[in-house]
Structure 1
Amino acid sequence: MQGRSMWPIRPGEFTTADLDAAPDEGARYELVDGVLLLTYMSSATHQRALSNLLMQMVAACPDHLEVLHGPLEFRPNSRLAVVPDLLVLPAEDTGTRWVEDLALAVEVVVSTTRTVDRVLKPVLYERAGVPAYWMLDVEVGTLTVLELEGGRYVERAVVGEGGVFEAEVPFPVRVGVSRSGGW
């Protein structure tokens, strides 16, 4: 592979220390129970949906929280590192490329990430105690909202095209779901 750095991959489980040693080649590296997941850059549709949601969220965000978009890793332990598309966290400048505490994780679901975002990531975020997880499906035109209740996610809402979700967690905000609004 000319022009690309080689990353020595050794057998066994990966840790967040291995991620720290990974080359920055535009890939998104995620770690689930010691298993490395790799995805690449997102589409324009994905970016438009993310930008639209980011603008809606930032406008309503209280001072004690911060709304950011990736690539910023969520690392609750040394065997899990995932990169939400959008995240809400306490407003603290950690100075690192990763955080341990989230109030909300959001994934923009597209065909290439559908199984990971809809099946795997809810389990991971629930297990890590993230209070809310949203899935913005740009192909179907829905926003699915999961919130932690008694340590388990419950579905609070599924909002379709043209609808509005009035969130309370992690903070009060009205989120419009509209492909014509930018995605």
Structure 2
Amino acid sequence: MPARSTEAPMQAHEARAAGSPWRVPGELGVEEWFELNAQADDGSRYELIDGSLIVSPAPLPMHQWIGDNLRAALHEAAPEELVAITAAGLLLDGRPGVIPVVMVVDRQPIREGASVVRPEWVRLVVEIVSRSTTMTDRVVKPAKYAEAGIPCFWRVETHPFRGQAADRLPVVFTHRLDEDGQYQLTHRIGAGEAVAVAEPFKVTVDPEALAKV
């Protein structure tokens, strides 16, 4: 098994956009990516997908509440070798990438002090759809996660959406990666239901409980 690494390319364009404190998006290194997010005093998140810089505003309190509750439920149900974490950077294509809402990852690299997560450590990634990043959360990120070989992807809808039908919000969609590298829907769980999900491990998903304040 190859040695684990937390490093990424450490080159960046030196030019800066006029009037901007940030480097022009390019081959940003991990530390520069961290700096980009650390200096965002309005809570915005900076992600890089295929060289494109995606800026997301600070999430709404309910978005964070659901994410925190889901992380806690996953962490409690996870086997000893796995942990559930939030707000951690995930490399894509070996370069700075995205900051998923929740990830379930191998415990060992976290214990060893990894500064950023590599896709091969990830068993599940979760995104909660925001109105400002709907296409990214529903289409762009899942495609990149599938490309990276992450076995499970969950999406949480908290706002009315096309095809919602009689489901009450929030609605959780769970997917697993098939042999062709595509995510296939395994469960659609609306508020008022509590469903036992088998992957990436046995855990009961109760959307109504996740949103209860």
**TM-score by structure 1 length?**
0.86
- Give 1:5 shift: 8.0
Match of 2:36 in 1: 22
Letter in 1 for 2:23: P
CA distance in 2, matches of 1:134, 1:98: 21
Q: Is residue 2:49 matched to residue 1:35?
A: no
**Two-structure CA RMSD over aligned residues (Å):** 2.3
Letter in 2 for 1:96: A
Higher helix proportion (structure 1 or 2): 2
5+ long unaligned stretches in structure 2: 1-18, 161-168
Structure 1 residues 19 and 157, CA gap change in structure 2 (3 angstroms): same
SS in 2 for 1:8: coil
Letter in 2 for 1:77: D
Structure 1 residues 179 and 110, CA gap change in structure 2 (3 angstroms): farther
- Give 1:87 shift: 0.4
Match of 1:98 in 2: 116
SS in 2 for 1:171: coil
Match of 2:174 in 1: 145
Task: Write the deviation string for residues 65-123 of structure 1: whole angstroms up to 9, x where unpaired.
Answer: 001111x1111433451111000000022423311021000011121222111111110
Structure 1 residues 136 and 95, CA gap change in structure 2 (3 angstroms): same
- What is the percent sequence identity of the aligned residues? 27
Match of 1:170 in 2: 200
Give the count of matched residue pairs: 177
Match of 2:98 in 1: 82
SS in 2 for 1:22: helix
Structure 1 residues 114 and 173, CA gap change in structure 2 (3 angstroms): same
Letter in 2 for 1:118: R
5+ long unaligned stretches in structure 1: none
- Give 1:135 shift: 0.5
Question: What does 1:112-123 correspond to in 2, within 5 Å?
Answer: 112-123=132-143
SS in 2 for 1:170: coil
Q: Is the 8 A contact 1:74 1:102 kept in 2?
A: no
Letter in 2 for 1:131: P
Match of 1:9 in 2: 24
Task: Write the deviation string for residues 126-166 of structure 1: whole angstroms up to 9, x where unpaired.
Answer: 00000000001112421011101102211111111211232
Q: Is the 8 A contact 2:72 2:84 kept in 1?
A: no
Q: Is the 8 A contact 1:67 1:86 kept in 2?
A: yes
Q: Is residue 2:114 matched to residue 1:109?
A: no
**TM-score by structure 2 length?**
0.75
CA distance in 2, matches of 1:176, 1:134: 13
CA distance in 2, matches of 1:157, 1:118: 16
Higher strand proportion (structure 1 or 2): 1
Q: Is the 8 A contact 2:46 2:53 kept in 1?
A: yes
Q: Is residue 2:155 matched to residue 1:135?
A: yes
SS in 1 for 2:36: coil
